[in-house]
A = this chain, B = another copy of it.
Amino acid sequence: MHYHQFAHSQVSYPQAVKELQTLGFLTEIDLENTTPNSLWLNLVAMTFCQAKTPLAKQAYLANLLARPNQTLLEFAANNTLETEAFYAVALQLLGFEVGVDFEVAESLEFMETVGLKSHNQVQTVEELLLAWYDLLELPRKNGQSFLDYLATQGFFLPMYNLPAKKKPQFYNGKSLPIFDTSQLIYEVVYVESDLDTDHDGRRDLLQVQIIRPKDTEAGLRVPAVFTASPYNRGTNPELGQKLTHNVDVPLIRKEPNQVSYQDIHAPHQLPPAPEGRLLNGHSKEATESFDHSFTYSLNNYLLARGFAVVYAAGIGTRGSEGLRTCGSVAETASTTAIIEWLNGKRPAFTDRTSNRAINAWWCNGAVAMTGKSYLGTLANAAATTGVEGLKTIIAEAAISSWYDYYRDGGLVVAPGGFPGEDADVLAGECLSRMKDAGDFLNVQSQAEQTLATIKVQQDRQSGNYNQFWDARNYLNDSAQVKCDVMLVHGLNDWNVKPRNVYNFYKALSKLPIATKLVLHQGQHIYINNFRSLDFNQMVNLWLSNHLYDCQNDAVATLPNVVVQDNVQAEKWHSLEAWEADSNLEVFNFNPKHLTNAKSQGGQVSFKDQLPPADFDHYKQDWTAWKTDLVKEESPLTHNRLLFATDILKEDLTLQGAPRLKLKIKSNQNVGMVSAMLVDLGKAKRLGEVPTVLDRQSLGLGYHWHTEDLVEFTLAQESDFKLISKGHRNLQNRTSLWQNDELEADTFYQVNFDLQPSFYTIPAGRKLGLIIYATDMEMTVRGNQDLTYTLQLEDCQLQFLKHN
């Protein structure tokens, strides 16, 4: 167990007293005439909020030890308040177990060990209240803040009934869970976009699902947390399967050409829209409700805390009109249309037929976007339009350029685990409008045509960056981002690879906005349920500031970059920037060896082709393939080049995107090169998937949704771990859009970046580099008779090393 609190701030004594009054802790207390002991007992008793009478609370107070052989009651009757006893009791309130987690006589040492902040002295009333103020935000044993736990116990029930004009309330700059989640209003409206993607001559209507606190009916105007999820109304796995491309095809030579970026640049423009619908009256009341079957726990957390939550699946999804086009300008516009409606700039209707308009009258006009993967991608997309009303995005594991999702280095490179997937496949999978057979009857042929067009335009033949991909590159518009941004990404995410967040982060860093970055050791996951990090609190602080204008100094309080350690579990670093405090590290190549010294030159070769049985085995078992690729001796020994440093004498931390410079030749006039950076050496490393510590144990409110508690824990001993990867078509030496000449048996210089990371190889292990060609999990798998040779003195690996 180790805890990190990035979202907590120290406050003055008067401020602490004021906020404790807000919570009702001081309601029946005469601060002038109380003793520290009596105040202490009162405060503790109030936390047993499920016991409603003094007699019912009695047993709970008697359950707590203040000294090894003295209960709180006995101690308080016979001694004056002291720091050690205060924290012994505090730890029990936080759910730590005496004799299991800590010893009563060693409460302060325990707190220090696990990273819980304590006050030096807790003896006077003032010291007690300041310590109590901070205690309420401390993480409990399961990582949940004490206040969030109290929320699950019904502590805030009395505040549900505060008048609308007294809501929200904040504690330490974060909105309190005083909104009744059993009384939420669920409603559906249909926003009219400027699009006609199904070419039926009418503007595409977009179904929007809204969840808002009942207090809005009494006049409270709340901000909207909007998640644009194309998966929200279902998917078509069967169609996706059908559209999936065969990747067991050869790498094909590309005809050399001269192409400039201007030739393939795609302006982000929409075709003119048909006329809008004529409004037929106006209503304040929605006529449709919905089933909250899709749940996203961060949003549910926020619902209890005074934020409305809005879901829209976008064009081509069930309940909406239009067709899906995978990351296109139209999909961006179908996302910002919702924000424009929330901000009062665009009409919506109560249903798909009446033309009866309905406003987002309950909304204060401030919108944030949340979500992971495609959902976060659409948040990125919306931010790059600079749309009014969008105050911030929290984009997790999001794509910043679709080329970096489905392509790499002039090659078709699938997201990890999804060979054969491409833009057309995803468009088909998300076309959930298909599920309503009667509705789909009218657009079926148009839908088929749209998918066929994407199939052509994405161009799996060349793998080049072209107009199709340029139209889907949000980085082109990054300068238009006006709102502050929080980015979250897994350093082991081989689905949406880290380059996506790296490029966006670097582009945003140049702008006059605040950008916050959280890099974790996960794959493609959410991180709002880790014991070691107060992520929910960070988000609450951030959104209270950006959406409710709470003056909580959120931008200054949160670190610019938070990075999870890859060696030690439950450890997070805060940094100024991804690549802060670094200098360039350069490795030269000798056979099997990476060295800081000068290369001794020479040539080494590997072939790509495998015996058919091995090929079949590896294409089905990627773990075996990866293991054998990295092993010293394996059936793949001749199918790759393995270079390794000497055993490291001190820890080596790599930051940012490693650059690989290779002098390479192919025995044919076609070729690709792949590279993996690995951490070599037997060791217990963090598991790839978070361990579920306690199922559904994190309550997000009172009798409200729950979430699993998870954490990365050390896994079984392993021989290596992947740090980074990269791929390059040898015909894309100049750019991703131009085909260079490639003559057989001729050396060329090929330089390219691997995926960025932040990775520490501890002393005692080695940094390894594997050069190979076909990637069983990601590239096409032609199993061609290709042999590649490196000219070692002209090869180099460079990266930024953390000082």
Contacts and interface: CB of A to CB of B under 8 A. Distances in A.
B71 A287 contact: no
Interface in A99-124: 99-100, 104
Contact of A287 (B52, B73, B182): B52
A59 B354 CA distance: 10
Contacts of A699: 291, 293
Which of A55, A71, A72, A703 lies at the interface centre, i.e. has the most chain B CB atoms within 10 A of its CB?
A55
Interface in A70-115: 71-73, 92, 97-100, 104
Nearest to A48: B288
Contacts of A71: 438, 441
Given A63-B438, A65-B437, A50 B351 contact: no
Contacts of A436: 63-64
Leading 4 A-B pairs by shortest Cβ distance: A63-B436, A98-B437, A182-B182, A71-B438
A350 interface: yes
30 contacts: A50-B188, A50-B289, A50-B290, A52-B287, A53-B287, A53-B354, A55-B287, A55-B353, A56-B287, A56-B354, A59-B351, A59-B352, A62-B439, A63-B439, A64-B438, A65-B437, A69-B441, A71-B438, A72-B438, A73-B438, A97-B434, A99-B437, A100-B238, A154-B289, A182-B182, A182-B183, A291-B699, A292-B703, A293-B697, A293-B699
Contacts of A293: 152, 697, 699, 706
Nearest to A239: B100
A287 B57 CA distance: 9
A153 interface: yes
A51 B73 CA distance: 58
Interface in A299-354: 350-354
Nearest to A73: B438
Contacts of A351: 51, 53, 55-56, 58-59
Interface string A171-197: 000000000001110101000000000
Nearest to A437: B98
A99 B436 CA distance: 11
Contacts of A59: 351-353, 439
Interface of A: 50-53, 55-56, 58-59, 62-65, 69, 71-73, 92, 97-100, 104, 152-154, 182-184, 186, 188, 236, 238, 287-293, 295, 350-354, 356, 434-439, 441, 696-697, 699, 703, 706
* Residue from A289, A292, A437, A706 with most neighbouring chain B CB atoms (10 Å): A437
Contacts of A352: 58-59
Given A97-B435, A100-B238, 18 more contacts: A50-B288, A50-B289, A50-B291, A51-B351, A53-B351, A55-B350, A55-B351, A55-B353, A56-B351, A64-B437, A65-B438, A69-B441, A71-B438, A97-B434, A99-B437, A152-B291, A182-B182, A292-B703
B437 A104 contact: yes
A56 B183 contact: no
Copies in the complex: 2
A53 B187 CA distance: 13
A152 B292 CA distance: 9
A287 B52 CA distance: 5
Contacts of A53: 287, 350-351, 354
Nearest to A51: B288
Contacts of A439: 59, 62-63
A354 B72 CA distance: 20
A600 to B, nearest CB: 44
Contacts of A290: 50
Contacts of A437: 63-65, 92, 97-99, 104
Contacts of A100: 236, 238
Nearest to A351: B56
A383 B72 CA distance: 42
B288 A56 contact: yes
A51 B287 contact: yes
A186 B182 CA distance: 14
A133 to B, nearest CB: 24
B52 A288 contact: yes
A52 B98 contact: no
Contacts of A287: 51-53, 55-56
A497 to B, nearest CB: 25
Q: Which of A186, A188, A438 has the most chain B CB within a 10 Å cutoff?
A: A438
Nearest to A55: B354
A744 to B, nearest CB: 43
A437 B91 CA distance: 12
Nearest to A234: B97
Contacts of A154: 289, 291
A96 to B, nearest CB: 10
A350 B55 CA distance: 9
Nearest to A100: B238
Nearest to A61: B438
Contact of A438 (B52, B62, B438, B706): B62
A357 to B, nearest CB: 13
Contacts of A58: 351-353
A441 B52 contact: no
Contacts of A289: 50, 52, 154
A46 B104 CA distance: 62
Nearest to A236: B100
A183 B92 CA distance: 31
Contacts of A706: 293
Contacts of A69: 441
Contact of A696 (B63, B73, B295): B295
Contacts of A63: 436-439
Contacts of A99: 434, 437
Nearest to A182: B182
A122 B92 CA distance: 66
A441 B184 CA distance: 45
Contacts of A295: 696
A770 B548 CA distance: 70
Contacts of A438: 62-65, 71-73
Nearest to A53: B287
Contacts of A51: 287-288, 351
Nearest to A355: B55
A183 B182 CA distance: 8
Contacts of A52: 287-289
A729 to B, nearest CB: 36
A317 B214 CA distance: 39
Contacts of A98: 437
A104 B438 CA distance: 11
Contacts of A55: 287, 350-351, 353-354, 356
